[in-house]
Each structure stands twice: as C-alpha cells, then as structure tokens.
Amino acid sequence: MINENDPSTLSTSGRLLSYNDAVKEGLATGQAFTALMDQLINTKDPATLVEAAQELSVFVLDSDYVTFPHQYNAADYYLIFMSRLLELHDQGAAVTLQSHEGDQHLTQQLTALGDLGVFAFRSANDSTGGVYYQDQVTGEVLFYLNLKRQLMRMNSSAITKLFVETYLDKLEDEHILAATDLLIAFGQSLKEDFGFDVDFNLLDTSNSEFYAFTTSDLSGEIVDKLFVAAASENYMLKHAQDGAILELSPEVTMKIVSHNTTGAAAWGILIQDKAQQVSWFKVLLAYPFLRQWYLDNLDDLQIRSDSLVF
C-alpha cells in the first residue's frame, strides 16, 4: 500500500514528485533567506534592520535536498547588523567589513585603528543568542550583545588591556578615542532606536556613573600610593569623609568614594565635569600617573563588569 508520508513506498513517478516538492521547498527557503538579506543590507528602517538580523541569526538555510555551500555563520549577521546600524547613523565610514571566503566568515576593521583592530562576533553559547565582540589578534572581548534580550554590556577588563595597555604605544590617543567613541555610538544607537539596556562601564561620561572596583575593601596603602603619585606631578589628593578627592583641572574632579547601595560596602570612582564629557577611560589616557597607579594595582582597582555575561 502506498504511504504518501514514506517516499520509499511510492511509485517511481510518486518518488520523483516527492523529490521535486522537496527541492521546491528548499529553493523557497533560499528565497526567504535572500529576502531577509535584502532587508539587512538595504533597509533604512532600524526596526526592520534588527528584525532581519534576529531572524537570520537563527535561520536554517539547508534542507535534505538543497544545500548552499557558501554561508556565513550566525554571528556574522550580528556584524552586518552593527555595520548597517552605524551606517544609518552616519558612521558607516568608521568600519569596514571583510569577507574571508576560505572559512566563510566576516571580520570588521575599525578605521581609527588601521590594521591593528580586526574584530568579529562569536557566540556566547548562552541559549538566548548572545554574542561577544572579540579582537581577533588578542582575543579580548570588548562587549556582549544580545538582540533578543535587548542588552549590551561593555567589558572593562578587555577595554583596559586592549586600549590602555596593548595599543597605547602603537596609536595616538585621538585614534584610540575615535575607536571607543564608535563603540559608544553603537550603544547609543541601540538605546535610542530600540530601547536597549546598555552599560558603557568605564566609557560612561555621566557624572552619576559609579565605576565600582572589583575589591569591596580598598586598602589605605593603595590610596597612599595615589597620594605619592599625585604629589610627584604637583597634584594634591585630599582626604574626604567617604574617601578622597583629586582636582585634575578646574573642570574635572576625581573622587574615590564608598557606596553602600546593595547592603555591602563598594569602593569606586566618580569622575565629574560640568559638560559630562569625561569618563574614567579618558582620564586614564590623559593622566599617565593615574594610569600607572591603576595598572599597578589592577587586581583591586579593576572596574567591575557585569558578572552575568563575562
């Protein structure tokens, strides 16, 4: 008896029809894929852009009867999304996508970094489609992105290692700042266009941003080291009731303070300026004595990142 659900029992013509239908279905899947790619590449609408990126990141292109030999991986669609979103916000020239046909994947160069900065997304394997934006030379992960959860988190440790240590002697400060400003611009676009929850971490320029140290018990010895380092550069670290204050310029003040917002002591830094354009990261680039103090005591002073994603 012929079972229409079992091609092995069909007649010759029946098996051929079943095969032909499967091929049609596979080709239709390919057409659906190219329609999404058209949206990802050409749309001017941010909402359509993010929808296409989300669908492509989980799209299964191959079928039993139709396979497509040249395919990007899921994380590559995030990279295209990032480049396109920056383009929609007039920052397209700041990045360049490169296709590597040998292993069929994409990388992205930040124009400000020249040949030094080559980045790609890789899966975070967190079951919700999260990805890490990773430098392909050093392996440092600069941020976590999740389109489904509408979440972006900067990684202070990687940003410090890459831009404050590795690239500092290889690039002018203006080029480093241009690269990090681009990361901020991408995060701001996610917030403004889609309402993403974005943590800029040590790149945040808000006066209210509390850059929390990894240590919850800052030793007096580390503060004393800063007092000596500041004095050697003709700056005066002043003790305050809840920490210490350092006037870096008439416009910029650095405060080491203790916050107790979660029931446990937390030490960290506040950077305050009237224009709210200065972050802890910018201070590290601008003041070598503070940068050296920070790096020498990094085990305690490292700015805390979101432990749930890094």
pLDDT tens profile 141-189 = 999 999 999 999 999 999 999 999 999 999 999 999 999 999 999 999 9
Confidence class for position 258, pLDDT limits 50, 70, 90: confident
- pLDDT tens for 104-114 read 689 999 999 99
CA-wise closest residue to 282 among 128, 187, 177, 185: 177
CATH 3.30.310 domain extents, the chain: 211-301
d(CA 43, CA 49): 6
Architecture of 211-301 per CATH? 2-Layer Sandwich (3.30)
- Residue 213: DSSP 8-state: B
What pairing do the DSSP bridges indicate for beta strands 197-199 and 151-154?
parallel
Confidence class for position 10, pLDDT limits 50, 70, 90: low
User: What pLDDT sits at residue 6?
Assistant: 61
* Owner of token pair 């975070």: 124
pLDDT of 123 higher than 60: yes
d(CA 236, CA 245): 9
For the CA atoms of the chain, what is the radius of gyration? 25
Count the neighbouring beta carbons within 10 Å of the beta carbon of residue 7.
Answer: 15
Confidence class for position 266, pLDDT limits 50, 70, 90: confident
Residue 119's φ and ψ, nearest 5 degrees, are -125, 155
- Residues 198, 203, 207, 208, CA torsion sign: positive
| pTM of the complete model | 0.90
